[in-house]
Chains A and B, each alone.
Chain A
Amino acid sequence: MSKSRTIRVLIAKPGLDGHDRGAKVLTLGLRDEGMEVIYTGLRQTPEKIVQAAVQEDVDVVGLSCLSGAHNELFPRVVELLREFGKEDSLVMGGGLVPEEDVPGLREKGISAVFTSGTPIHTIAEYIRQNVRA
């Protein structure tokens, strides 16, 4: 992608899970990495997340869930992004996601899953190399 445009990221909390330490830390961290980052706040439906992604014209959607509803909620966001013509967005997941769920999520369009302990720089690098814009 051209270097002139700043990468725009939406960090979102789908579902009812209230644990957003990771989401907030990542929001602040990616900002320090030079990206424009919007954090949705808690309790977002996939519909609301996709609406925000379209309105804010983001390149990346980062989804965080620690309640175990990730298998239901993450793929739904990907589906809706396709419906709204945002299939070029890079979708990443994080939170409490057991390793055995990762292949299934990748198959459904979540390109990477970063769980706790991942350095922010690693995530930022991943975004820079994989963002499709």
Chain B
Amino acid sequence: MLFDREELEKIAGAKQEWEEGLLKQQMERFGMKEPPGRTYTPADLGDWGFLEKVGLPGQYPFTSMEYATHLPERGTAVSAIRFVAGAYAGYGTVEDTRDLWREQGRRGANVAFDLPTQCGYDSDDPISRGEVGKVGIAVDSLRDFEVLYEFLDGVASLDQTASNFTINAPCNIILAMYIAVAEKKGVDPAKLRGTPQNDILKEFVARGTYIFPPDASMRMVRDTITYSHKHLPLLNPISICGYHIREAGATAAQTMAFTFSNAIAYVQLGIDAGLDIDDFVRRFTFLNFSGSMDFFLEIARARAARRIWARIMKERFKARNPRSWTTSGLGNAVEGRYCYTTQRPLNNLARGVIMGVAAALSGGRPSGGVAWDEPLGLGHSYEASQLSLDAARIMQHEARLGTVIDPLAGSYYVESLTDQVEQETLEIMDRIEKMGGSVEAIKSGWMQREVARSAYQFHREVESGERVIVGVNRFTGENELNVTTSRLAPHPYDPRKRADAEERQLANLATVKKDRDNSRVQATLKDLHTAARDENENLMPYFLDCVKAYATIGEMCNVLRDVFGEWEPVGAL
């Protein structure tokens, strides 16, 4: 307790006197009906205790940070632009991306897949028309994975690198391809590092690349958790995402509530499969929760997130190992990409910097935010990436942000806001629990409707002017300048290759189908079909057989569509 009861009463009394006296006078003088903000005092915190609510960095309940300290001399969150190993990338055919990554000297893969791959369709499926190689690389069969990983030849062996795969519904198939490539290269799969996204629940809520109904989808996730626990001990089988839920329109509290409820469902899969919580949950990761331009709210949200999750792990799941109480990726405040505007887009630089400061004040490193030209839909320019990087450097070296961890701890305002957003989150989680958990709240369409309602609410506030977006719904008069700039360095994605990627990938796929042993393909697909019908079977070994026979993602998913059915979204708007 920061202040004794007598002192708190004195403060509360002084505040009341101030409100009725000085504040009221000033407001009357300026003709104000409501004060523009409120003032916080220790009375707002009451019997708040530091160790219970915050704790030291790296200690329960992790409000200040997951770790005791930042790593030494790691610099800013971003490293060199052109040669960054980890940036999410990929376009066209695997040949195009392989060549680009070689040229950039990459040592790790962070793979963006095109939509047909993400939705379990082959490139030659009629529904794939126009989408092949568009938002990432096209992968149909193991052949494509083999070609992609040629970028590492002579650079690093597969066990010296890590791979991130933004893949969800067909995650198990992509994982099987990764294992098969390792085996072909003579690398022990037990040494493979990587993180497939594998968060199917948020696909139903927000991102949309689901295939099968929720229960069958969760079985697939269970298979990856138990299989990797046994065979891929260095792999993080899941990256649980708040990001897409927030970007789709959910509020800060909804985003945390939905994401943590989803996370609870995934943890429960491991427990129900007989694993010990302390044995598997340390391999779980979170992505991030996106954000808004509401500076203090986002700092409070990030602090609350770590505390909520720590309590769930310790109190609900009874994890004993302190390392299980926090999960990497819970992270700091981050910019919301939906907050970036196409109108007067250079203003996005200011938006990125503001949230980069919030990152540094909420247990993270300063960051320059995502490139300002993101919403233009042309890919990040090198120039924009340079500016983000420099912004982070200025924050770190000139403004010296990030040297003190959680510098707002104890702020009457930030602590109150942290408690408030935590409370709101827990109330929503309680509602979900009463519905029977995340899977049920998704099957009924409840989560999806809540997100749509919040998105619409946000939009109405923008249209009414209640929520101001500079250069969009205010300050748009004739005297304002539309500041623009042009790109000097060409974008690394070759537009000609993007244009004919579909045609080239169709040829690749036709060759695979011609050259492979089709009777072996049919036999492995048949085994997959039989195994899929038995809920207790782990399908990973069957996918591995199919993949090695060069069966395609579309063929495997069609087998599963036959057994599991396809998800038809419920609940009209």
A41 adjacent to chain B (CB < 8 Å): yes
Query: A96 contacts which chain B residues (CB < 8 A)?
Result: 377
Query: A43 contacts which chain B residues (CB < 8 A)?
Result: 119, 127, 208
How many whole Å from A59's CB to the nearest CB in chain B? 19
Q: Main SS of the interface on chain A?
A: loop
- A45-B127, A117-B343 are known contacts. Are A15 and B115 too (CB-CB below 8 A)? yes
Most chain B beta carbons < 10 A, residue from A27, A43, A45, A119: A43
Query: In A24-64, which residues have CB < 8 Å from any B CB?
Result: 24-25, 27-29, 39, 41-43, 45
B303 adjacent to chain A (CB < 8 Å): no
Contacting pair A21 B249 (CB below 8 A): yes
Contacting pair A17 B208 (CB below 8 A): yes
Complex Cα distance, B131 from A15, in Å, reads 7
Contacting pair A119 B463 (CB below 8 A): yes
Residue in contact with B135 in the complex, picked from A21, A41, A68, A115, CB distance below 8 Å: A68
Query: B135 contacts which chain A residues (CB < 8 A)?
Result: 67-68
Query: A116 contacts which chain B residues (CB < 8 A)?
Result: 341-342, 375
How many whole Å from B88's CB to the nearest CB in chain A? 15
Residue of B nearest to A37 (CB): B573
Query: In B99-132, which residues have CB < 8 Å from any A CB?
Result: 115-116, 118-119, 121, 126-131
B318 adjacent to chain A (CB < 8 Å): no
Complex Cα distance, B573 from A71, in Å, reads 28
Complex Cα distance, B378 from A71, in Å, reads 15
Complex Cα distance, B378 from A96, in Å, reads 10
Query: B469 contacts which chain A residues (CB < 8 A)?
Result: 117
Interface bits B407-440 vs A (CB < 8 Å: 1, else 0): 0000000000000000000000000000000000
Query: A97 contacts which chain B residues (CB < 8 A)?
Result: 377
B456 adjacent to chain A (CB < 8 Å): yes
Residue in contact with A16 in the complex, picked from B115, B203, B456, CB distance below 8 Å: B115
Residue of A nearest to B453 (CB): A28
Q: How many A-B residue pairs have CB under 8 A?
A: 95
Contacting pair B115 A45 (CB below 8 A): no
Residue of A nearest to B566 (CB): A43
B474 adjacent to chain A (CB < 8 Å): no
B247 adjacent to chain A (CB < 8 Å): yes
Contacting pair A98 B378 (CB below 8 A): yes
Complex Cα distance, B249 from A21, in Å, reads 7
- A17-B115, A24-B456, A116-B342 are known contacts. Are A72 and B129 too (CB-CB below 8 A)? yes
Complex Cα distance, B115 from A16, in Å, reads 6
Most chain B beta carbons < 10 A, residue from A16, A20, A69: A16
Interface bits A50-94 vs B (CB < 8 Å: 1, else 0): 000000000000000001110111000000000000000000000
Residue total for B at the interface (Cβ-Cβ under 8 A): 40
- A15-B115, A69-B131 are known contacts. Are A20 and B208 too (CB-CB below 8 A)? yes
Contacting pair B342 A115 (CB below 8 A): yes
Contacting pair A69 B134 (CB below 8 A): yes
Residue in contact with B131 in the complex, picked from A16, A27, A28, A121, CB distance below 8 Å: A16
Complex Cα distance, B460 from A121, in Å, reads 11
B569 adjacent to chain A (CB < 8 Å): yes
Q: Main SS of the interface on chain B?
A: loop
A128 adjacent to chain B (CB < 8 Å): no
B455 adjacent to chain A (CB < 8 Å): yes
Contacting pair A25 B115 (CB below 8 A): no
How many whole Å from B33's CB to the nearest CB in chain A? 28
Interface bits B186-214 vs A (CB < 8 Å: 1, else 0): 00000000000000000100011100000
Query: B155 contacts which chain A residues (CB < 8 A)?
Result: none
Query: A115 contacts which chain B residues (CB < 8 A)?
Result: 342
Residue of A nearest to B448 (CB): A24
Contacting pair B118 A16 (CB below 8 A): yes
Most chain B beta carbons < 10 A, residue from A19, A71, A98: A19
- A17-B208, A20-B208 are known contacts. Are A71 and B375 too (CB-CB below 8 A)? no
Query: A120 contacts which chain B residues (CB < 8 A)?
Result: 459, 463
A103 adjacent to chain B (CB < 8 Å): no
A18 adjacent to chain B (CB < 8 Å): yes
Contacting pair A68 B463 (CB below 8 A): no
How many whole Å from A68's CB to the nearest CB in chain B? 4
Complex Cα distance, B453 from A27, in Å, reads 11
How many whole Å from B210's CB to the nearest CB in chain A? 8
B residues in contact (CB < 8 Å) with A? 115-116, 118-119, 121, 126-131, 134-135, 203, 207-209, 247-249, 338, 341-343, 375-378, 452, 455-456, 459-460, 463, 469, 472-473, 569, 572-573
**A21-B249, A27-B573, A28-B456 known, 7 other contacts, Cβ within 8 Å:** A15-B130, A20-B208, A21-B452, A25-B459, A67-B135, A69-B129, A121-B463
Could you pull out 6 A-B pairs where Cβ atoms are within 8 angstroms? A15-B130, A16-B118, A16-B119, A21-B247, A25-B459, A45-B126
A residues in contact (CB < 8 Å) with B? 15-21, 24-25, 27-29, 39, 41-43, 45, 67-69, 71-73, 96-98, 115-117, 119-121
